[in-house]
């Protein structure tokens, strides 16, 4: 991903609007999100998670037919995004032939009751995989749903490198890895078994010699087959030609008869001019028959009864047939096989020199890759310590003081590895030598385990919040969603979490579902989610509330359904304090 610093980023809405139709409990909704901190609140079961599921669907997550609202055949989800400041997204859109000149990307996802669906980006239909690829640059969702980058081990390495600014070094390793692959592929085309090589040379040499000795010509086979047919029927041909010639030129033949006709007509032409045209036609016929007779005499002389020529033709055809079985189905293919064989023999003769050149090039690329990959690995180790300290500090502030966060960096030892260091052989991958994984233990002294095995949804959200605060300036994703970031906290910790979300929202668009008034009070835009019963069915509705409505909602979160003057004053104080922060 390209680098975008916080200082160079304008405060704007990445996710401008989410539109939902016939999805789970929603009939139809349009949610215009604003910049900064967007808060969604509401009673448990009101349908807040439905909104996250809808956004996840827009971002390419799996959808099932039970998500279509009962009574409808199709659900439609749309997200409008501002991608004017994201060159990586613009590049992906250009590659897919999707117009986005105005910097606005409209993603549309349709799901039909028959299980089939369609995805669109600015009205251009795209595969859901391409939608997910684009979405990876747009929004990170953290919480209890499945779209959690924090549990993807591959993401851990990206986060560590983003924190350290290793982008150029990672690109260098990736380029060297690709170069090594290209050189190795070229070497493999040359370095075949020596016995196989000798056998191949012997075969090709024999084949070229056999084809050259045959002295084939492209049209020869057709000509020989035609001649063979003539030779096989020479006696009959001679007999029939002789009969035809006699009928034309013999006593009482056609030519003699035509001459008599010509003489008779010529005799009366002087008396009646009307016969002139007929006389001319007879003359033309006579000339034509004389030409035919002459041609037949010439053909008759060309008919060859020679048994030697018959043998020559049949032997030549047999030779061509034999060559076709070995080298191609036509004479042209046999001649092409000869040309390919000559090129391959030439390549064999120069292969030793080329192989040695490639070996030298490969050793140099391995040396350079080793130097660059080890440098990157060492930098990662040094950076990991600093990242651990900063994340641990953030986690303490977020009410996870007993939690231990560690960055595990390991290399894969393998006999097929190409990087030798510390008397070991390591595998080299496009991202380098290291397998980076974030580990966690609930309390100091307990075993470190993978995040997905030890952290709840709320804890994962807080861990990601900690990471985002630490890595903020290097992370290109501009919209963050936190679901249940407040799980299991309250009091002072809740206020700290709210302040950190507020700080994060100065450079990112942040969407938070919360049950805590301390966090709700920090909102720049506030939405209340409710579930209402109309026409004997429940429907989720969402309202973007005013400041005064926000104060009342915070008061409800403080005091419950019975809102008192005291809770209203307390809520007003919290909102005012948040506005002044």
Instruction: Give per-residue pLDDT as tens, 530-571.
Output: 888 877 788 888 999 999 999 999 999 888 878 889 989 999
Is the Cβ–Cβ distance between 527 and 544 less than 8 Å? Answer: yes
Q: Distance between CA 424 and CA 579 in Å, rounded? A: 58
Q: What is the mean pLDDT of residues 325-346?
A: 90
**% residues pLDDT > 90 (the chain):** 29
User: Above 80 in pLDDT, residue 308?
Assistant: no
pLDDT confidence of residue 210: 92
pLDDT confidence of residue 475: 64
Q: Distance between CA 246 and CA 251 in Å, rounded? A: 8
Q: What is the mean pLDDT of residues 158-169?
A: 88
Q: Is 76 left (phi over 0), alpha (psi -120 to 50) or beta?
A: beta
User: Above 90 in pLDDT, residue 409?
Assistant: yes
CA dist 389 → 362, 382, 383, 466 (Å): 40, 12, 10, 11
pLDDT confidence of residue 1: 34
Question: Quick one: pLDDT band at residue 8, thresholds 50, 70, 90?
Answer: very low
Sign of the CA dihedral 562, 564, 570, 574? positive
Q: Which residues contact 445 (CB under 8 A, 6 or more apart)?
A: none
pTM over 0.85, yes/no: no
**pLDDT 10s digits, 491-525:** 777 788 888 888 888 888 999 998 889 999 999 99
The mean predicted confidence, pLDDT, of the chain is: 84
Q: Distance between CA 581 and CA 576 in Å, rounded? A: 9
Among 199-208, 281-290, 447-456, which is the least confidently predicted range? 447-456
pLDDT confidence of residue 334: 92
Sign of the CA dihedral 266, 271, 272, 273? positive
Question: Quick one: pLDDT band at residue 232, thresholds 50, 70, 90?
Answer: low
pLDDT confidence of residue 458: 64
Q: Which residues contact 377 (CB under 8 A, 6 or more apart)?
A: 409, 411, 432, 433, 434
pLDDT confidence of residue 476: 65
- Considering 222-236, 419-433, 446-460, 482-496, the range whose residues carry the highest mean pLDDT is 419-433
User: Within 10 A of 302 (CB to CB), how many other CB atoms are there?
Assistant: 10
Choosing among 3.40.250.10, 3.40.50.300, 1.10.10.10, 3.40.950.10, the CATH entry for 1-138+477-545 is 3.40.50.300
Percentage helix, strand, coil for the chain under 3-state DSSP, each rounded to 5: 55, 20, 25
Which residues share a beta bridge with 437?
408
Q: Distance between CA 509 and CA 519 in Å, rounded? A: 15
Among 228-237, 317-326, 328-337, 488-497, which is the least confidently predicted range? 228-237
- Considering 231-235, 240-244, 469-473, 485-489, the range whose residues carry the highest mean pLDDT is 240-244
Q: Distance between CA 380 and CA 161 in Å, rounded? A: 7
**% residues pLDDT > 70 (the chain):** 90
Domain boundaries, the chain: 1-138+477-545, 198-342, 548-581
pLDDT confidence of residue 191: 66
Q: What is the mean pLDDT of residues 437-454?
A: 81
- Considering 19-33, 189-203, 344-358, 493-507, the range whose residues carry the highest mean pLDDT is 19-33
- Considering 228-237, 310-319, 414-423, the range whose residues carry the highest mean pLDDT is 414-423
Q: Distance between CA 286 and CA 255 in Å, rounded? A: 6
């Amino acid at each position: 991903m390209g680098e975008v610093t916080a200082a160079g980023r304008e405060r704007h809405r990445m996710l401008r609007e989410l539109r939902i139709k016939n999805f789970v409990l929603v009939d139809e909704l349009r949610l215009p999100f604003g910049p900064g901190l967007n808060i969604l609140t509401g009673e448990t079961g009101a349908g807040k998670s439905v909104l996250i599921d809808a956004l996840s669907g827009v971002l390419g997550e799996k959808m099932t037919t039970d998500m279509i609202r009962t009574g409808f055949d199709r659900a439609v989800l749309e997200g409008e995004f501002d991608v004017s400041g994201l060159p990586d997204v613009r590049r992906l859109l250009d590659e897919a032939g999707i117009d986005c000149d105005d910097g606005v990307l409209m993603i549309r996802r349709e799901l039909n009751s028959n299980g089939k669906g369609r995805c669109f980006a600015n009205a251009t239909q795209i595969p859901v995989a391409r939608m997910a690829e684009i979405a990876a640059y747009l929004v990170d969702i953290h919480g209890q749903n499945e779209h959690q980058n924090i549990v993807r081990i591959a993401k851990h390495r990206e986060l560590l490198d983003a924190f350290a600014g290793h982008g150029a070094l990672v690109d260098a390793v990736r380029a060297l890895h690709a170069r090594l692959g290209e050189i190795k592929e070229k070497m493999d085309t040359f370095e075949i078994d020596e016995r196989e090589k000798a056998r191949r040379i012997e075969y090709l040499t024999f084949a070229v010699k056999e084809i050259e000795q045959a002295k084939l010509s492209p049209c020869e086979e057709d000509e020989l087959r035609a001649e063979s047919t003539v030779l096989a029927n020479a006696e009959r041909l001679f007999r029939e030609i002789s009969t035809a010639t006699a009928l034309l030129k013999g006593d009482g033949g056609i030519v003699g008869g035509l001459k008599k006709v010509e003489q008779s007509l010529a005799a009366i032409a002087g008396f009646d001019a009307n016969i002139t045209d007929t006389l001319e036609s007879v003359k033309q016929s006579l000339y034509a028959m004389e030409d035919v007779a002459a041609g037949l005499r010439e053909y008759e002389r060309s008919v060859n009864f020679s048994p030697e020529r018959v043998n020559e033709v049949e032997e030549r055809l047999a030779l061509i047939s034999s060559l076709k079985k070995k080298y191609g189905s036509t004479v042209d293919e046999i001649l092409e096989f000869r040309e390919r064989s000559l090129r391959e023999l030439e390549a064999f003769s120069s292969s030793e020199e080329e192989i040695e050149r490639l070996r030298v090039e490969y050793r140099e690329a391995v040396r350079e890759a080793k130097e660059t990959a080890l440098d990157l690995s060492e930098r990662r180790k040094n950076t990991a310590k600093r990242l651990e300290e900063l994340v641990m500090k953030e986690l303490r502030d977020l009410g996870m003081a007993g939690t231990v966060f560690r960055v595990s960096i390991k290399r894969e030892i393998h006999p097929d590895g190409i990087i030798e260091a510390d008397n070991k052989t390591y595998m080299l991958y496009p991202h380098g030598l290291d397998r980076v994984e974030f580990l966690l233990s609930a309390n100091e002294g307990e075993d470190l385990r993978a995040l997905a095995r030890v952290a709840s949804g709320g804890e994962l959200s807080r861990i990601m919040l900690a990471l985002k605060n630490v890595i903020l300036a290097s992370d290109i994703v501009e919209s963050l969603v936190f679901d249940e970031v407040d799980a299991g906290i309250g009091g002072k910790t809740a206020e700290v979490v709210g302040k950190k979300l507020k700080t994060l929202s100065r450079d990112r668009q942040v969407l938070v579902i919360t049950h805590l008034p301390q966090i709700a009070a920090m909102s720049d835009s506030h939405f209340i989610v409710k579930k209402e019963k109309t026409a004997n069915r429940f429907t989720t509705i969402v309202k973007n509330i005013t400041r005064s409505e926000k104060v009342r909602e915070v008061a409800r979160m403080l005091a419950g359904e019975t809102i008192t003057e005291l809770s209203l004053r307390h809520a007003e104080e919290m909102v005012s304090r948040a506005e002044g922060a």
